[in-house]
């Protein structure tokens, strides 16, 4: 067990700690002006507390897992004006973390023998058979050449396909230019295929929601069902992720984590919405998007990433993927040498960690080999974020403490 500054619990007791964060009263009634924001007494909580007290950091959730030990931190508010404490059951926009969910659905089809990562996308979406690449654009004059490399499923999923971040048609499909889901997936793919690529497929990298949406359209074609339904039936439902969806319910919207803008040395300011994901969050303008769009909660998101950490099996025993599939397709980069680490909708480091972040500050990374996980939830725009440094130090210390104790246990003959 960790000692000293760290608050640690067994895996069996972790649900109780999550519940403890979640049982804070949910009310819209204003609290007395002197009320201080609640902050869990954990290593991360103590590190970020000054920023929560000053209002610079409105609210945050941190969950750390190291083997059978787990530390859960809830700090500040989901809604500052209402003084509603943030909890693991508060819905939020996870944005680009949706990409990893698409990666898992692609991996499922590979495992079932229904898809190869090196299949040309045109095998499933014929409009991608003849593609053009923009070779130059000078003084408004574009020079196009035929694509010489076949666009593969691997390329669209690891951002080497040559697509822009978003196609213009999707950006303009709702007022202000949204990206969370302004067009059906099949329409996104068809529109993208009609536009020139930024470079020859497989030769460079360009972070792209469009590519991931195309990957989801491939899954949709192979399975014969909407991608979001395939995701729900094969990943979300088996893992018990009942709060995760593309269109939040009215109840979820009423208790979601509000968005704020960071300010230097001053309290964060409330933000009604981000132009990229606009209200009403469950309106008719919202379509499932694999590049960014899923709403979830910290409790639900933990179930997904623990499944990855545990080699494809959820905490509830549901087997989503084989361990080797997770290790070879999701935890290992699928890009050519020298193009950075990225697999199927997931960022891959050179230190064993893999996962993904989201536009508004959320992030989760896992380490399969050492059974470690670090999850962070905020809903913030802009900079600076001075708490990140002290939070990272607290996270590193959490994992380092276990290493130190493990060495001591080896000498005393104890086994964890």
Residue identified by tokens 């609640």 is 38
Beta partners for residue 366, in sequence order = 354, 373
The CA-based angle 48-49-53, given to 5 degrees, is 125
Query: What is the spatial distance between Cα 138 and Cα 143, in angstroms, rounded to a whole number?
Result: 9
For a pLDDT cut of 70, what percent of the chain falls above it?
84
Give me the CATH topology for the region 100-225.
Answer: Beta-lactamase (3.40.710)
Q: Are 90 and 255 in contact (CB under 8 A)?
A: yes
pLDDT at 4: 34
Let me know if the fold of 11-97+229-412 is the same as that of 100-225: yes
**Using one digit for the tens of pLDDT, what is the confidence trace for 18-53?**
665 744 433 334 444 458 999 999 999 999 999 999
More confident residue, 168 or 220: 220
Q: Are 268 and 380 in contact (CB under 8 A)?
A: yes
b/e per residue 132-159 (b: at least 16 CB within 10 A): ebeeeeeeeeeeeeebebbbbbbbbbbb
DSSP state of 308: H
More confident residue, 5 or 64: 64
Evaluate the omega torsion of the peptide bond into residue 280 and state whether it is cis, within 30 degrees of 0.
Answer: yes
- Whether 297 has a pLDDT exceeding 90, the answer reads yes
**Using one digit for the tens of pLDDT, what is the confidence trace for 150-185?**
999 999 999 999 999 999 877 654 555 445 557 899
**Using one digit for the tens of pLDDT, what is the confidence trace for 342-359?**
999 999 998 999 999 999
Q: Which long-range contacts (CB under 8 A, 24 or more apart) does 392-396 make?
A: 393/47, 394/43, 394/44, 394/46, 394/47, 394/48, 395/44, 395/62, 395/64
Domain 11-97+229-412: which CATH class? alpha beta
Query: What is the spatial distance between Cα 159 and Cα 140, in angstroms, rounded to a whole number?
Result: 26
Global pTM reads 0.89
Beta partners for residue 377, in sequence order = 61
- Cα dihedral sign, 222-225-228-234: negative
- The contacts of residue 336 (CB under 8 Å, 6+ apart) are 160, 202
The values of phi and psi at residue 113, to 5°, are 75, 20
- Whether 412 has a pLDDT exceeding 50, the answer reads no
Q: What is the mean pLDDT of the chain?
A: 88
* Helices and strands (DSSP H and E) totals, the chain: 13, 14
Look at residue 74 and give its three-state secondary structure: strand
**Using one digit for the tens of pLDDT, what is the confidence trace for 81-126?**
999 999 999 999 999 999 999 999 999 999 999 999 999 999 999 9
The ranges assigned to domains in the chain are: 11-97+229-412, 100-225
């Amino acid at each position: 067990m960790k000692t000293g500054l760290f608050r640690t619990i067994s895996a069996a007791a972790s649900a109780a700690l999550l519940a403890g964060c979640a049982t804070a009263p949910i009310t819209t009634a204003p609290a007395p002006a002197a009320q201080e924001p609640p902050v869990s007494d954990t290593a991360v909580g103590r590190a970020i507390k000054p920023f929560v007290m000053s209002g610079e950091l409105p609210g945050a959730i941190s969950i750390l897992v190291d083997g059978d030990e787990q530390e859960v931190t809830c700090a500040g508010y989901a809604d500052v004006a209402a003084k509603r404490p943030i909890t693991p059951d508060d819905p939020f926009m996870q944005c680009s973390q949706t990409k990893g969910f698409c990666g898992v659905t692609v991996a499922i089809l590979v495992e079932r023998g229904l898809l190869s990562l090196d299949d040309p996308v045109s095998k499933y979406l014929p409009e991608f058979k003849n593609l053009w690449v923009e070779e130059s654009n000078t003084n408004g004059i574009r020079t196009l050449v035929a694509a010489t490399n076949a666009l593969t499923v691997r390329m669209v999923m690891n951002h080497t396909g040559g697509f822009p971040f978003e196609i213009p048609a999707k950006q303009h499909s709702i007022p202000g230019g949204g990206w969370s889901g302004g067009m059906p997936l099949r329409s996104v793919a068809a529109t993208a295929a009609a536009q020139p690529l930024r470079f020859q497929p497989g030769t460079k990298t360009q972070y792209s929601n469009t590519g991931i949406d195309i990957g989801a359209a491939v899954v949709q074609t192979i399975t014969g069902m909407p991608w979001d339904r395939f995701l729900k039936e094969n990943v979300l439902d088996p893992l018990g992720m009942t709060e995760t969806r593309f269109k939040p319910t009215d109840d979820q919207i009423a208790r979601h984590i509000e968005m704020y803008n960071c300010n230097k040395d001053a309290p964060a300011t409330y933000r009604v919405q981000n132009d990229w994901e606009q209200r009403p969050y469950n309106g008719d303008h919202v379509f499932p998007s694999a590049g960014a769009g899923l709403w979830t909660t910290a409790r639900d998101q933990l179930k997904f990433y623990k499944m990855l950490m545990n080699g494809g099996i959820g905490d509830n025993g549901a087997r989503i993927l084989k361990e080797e599939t997770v290790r070879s397709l999701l935890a290992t980069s699928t890009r050519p040498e020298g193009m950075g680490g990225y697999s199927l909708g997931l960022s891959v480091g050179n230190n064993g960690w893999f996962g993904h972040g989201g536009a508004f500050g959320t992030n989760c990374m896992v380490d399969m080999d050492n059974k470690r996980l670090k999850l962070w939830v905020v809903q913030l725009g802009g900079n600076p974020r001075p708490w990140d440094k002290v939070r990272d130090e607290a996270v590193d210390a959490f994992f380092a403490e276990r290493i130190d104790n493990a060495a001591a246990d080896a000498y005393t003959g104890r086994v964890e």
